[in-house]
Structure 1
């Protein structure tokens, strides 16, 4: 019962304090007027009698004699006690609430100072909650800044998770936190204006901070980039890509092949000859399941020629790519999209004449086993 009462009191609006003070003034006026007309006192004595009766001091120097006087004194005393108790209770509750907030804020800053490094997550809605789960699964230290107090209350805090229930745009707290110990600031609110303001606030005092932000609208990506965001992620773009790849899944082929850098252009000629698009290239480190991926997304032969010419005219870039091929023992996978299965069959036949095909539509785990044996 005590906890329920305290919870209700701490949620009382501050307007109740103002209303209580207003009622005390009204009661005081009632006491003065009643004392003047009912008790028959002069103005000064009426003020005096109203105060000592409202506060239940009652020195006894003025005693009500008639019935109406006794009723007046009783109502004034009871109303005074009730109102004064109400106002003082509200004031005390507000004071306790403020002290509690101050104490919690101090404990929060102590926990943050004890963290060796951390991620800052601004906004923990639909997108932010997914990011939070990814960070928590990897046992990362996370500071969640979320203006929705209910969301913060639903997050279980521990030594590696701290919640700050406030709007990140209201002050420069986030700029202070995004210092040397901050690995990255992830801004995932659904409002691009707020995201832009947060980016500017951080970048103003932390030029080296790594900032990743969400962009709800495509037209705001360039603005966020100019403001200082290092990476901008658009759920619209990601969702569109996922929809596209899911819709083309029956017409996407993953070929795991083995060849050197010299066969690069010939391979690309065969892919474009069949009207297919080279979507990605995955380089498989020996025995490691997760590959190193590159987005290509082209079916233009001229782009392939330009890239080969670039490598031939830039020895350092060519050497770096050659070293990458050597580190993966020339084993890599191509994700190729095409019109239909017969086209893929013809494509595979032509590629087999050019290079070694290890397999098609293999999983990363299967490829890791192959590369482990070949290493």
Structure 2
């Protein structure tokens, strides 16, 4: 099941609003009838009181119509045609408003689903919306990806509600099932981020994605244990992030070199200082040293391999290289010219 982000009105507020409209409509009709009460005749032939006007308004708007009070003058009949009859229709619409709202929501969701299926392409699928999944989505959005280009696959109801509240399209179901990933249009995705709660689930998701895409979609998986990283790579993951090992190294650095922790946190926290960035090498930079560029270059990415500046192959920029550098990510900072 696909869930689209929406702002919904609370049920108590919706019922209160409909009730207020219904009461206001009844009062308005009563005022019209009572103002022209001389044009009505009841079976007692003693004229219409205010209570009689309320009675006639209620039975008329609810289409009951006992016939004990009838309009006899031309003005009263004209008011019935021009005012009370449209009010009766409006009153019925208010009474069946819940049913109409459900039908409208279904139609709207079906229409949004059709439009979404037509335009979704080159998107990123995030399997799991726990701590890792939310952090991954936050980083994607901070780097310029629109919310409409992110699809969350999750079977936890609480995580689904959170993802929907965050304005994301969600697919309810397990990412280990082929039909769920097909619903997320995995064949048209640019990447699949696997952030499940267990390594065995990550392996199953990786195998399923590879089977459905034949390796054409980039797969990035998170592993809790380092010993499972090779298994994920064999299953088809292009990149594996070992969360426990990374956390352990940071804990070790916090003991032996505390300032390095602040540097790493600064690099990983958006909008607070330094940030890692990557761009294609320009034509006029080919043949020059990375150290000569205005940005603080820390590595080159060439033909699927990361080259350190200490590596002899990394001393010169070549055509097709990707430049990895540190940029100033503060909001007030002026971005460096590419």
TM-score grouping bracket, smaller chain normalisation: 0.3 to 0.5
Q: Identify, as 1 or 2, the structure richer in helix.
A: 1
**TM-score normalised to the size of structure 1?**
0.42
With normalisation by structure 2, the TM-score equals: 0.46
Give the structure with higher Rg (CA).
1
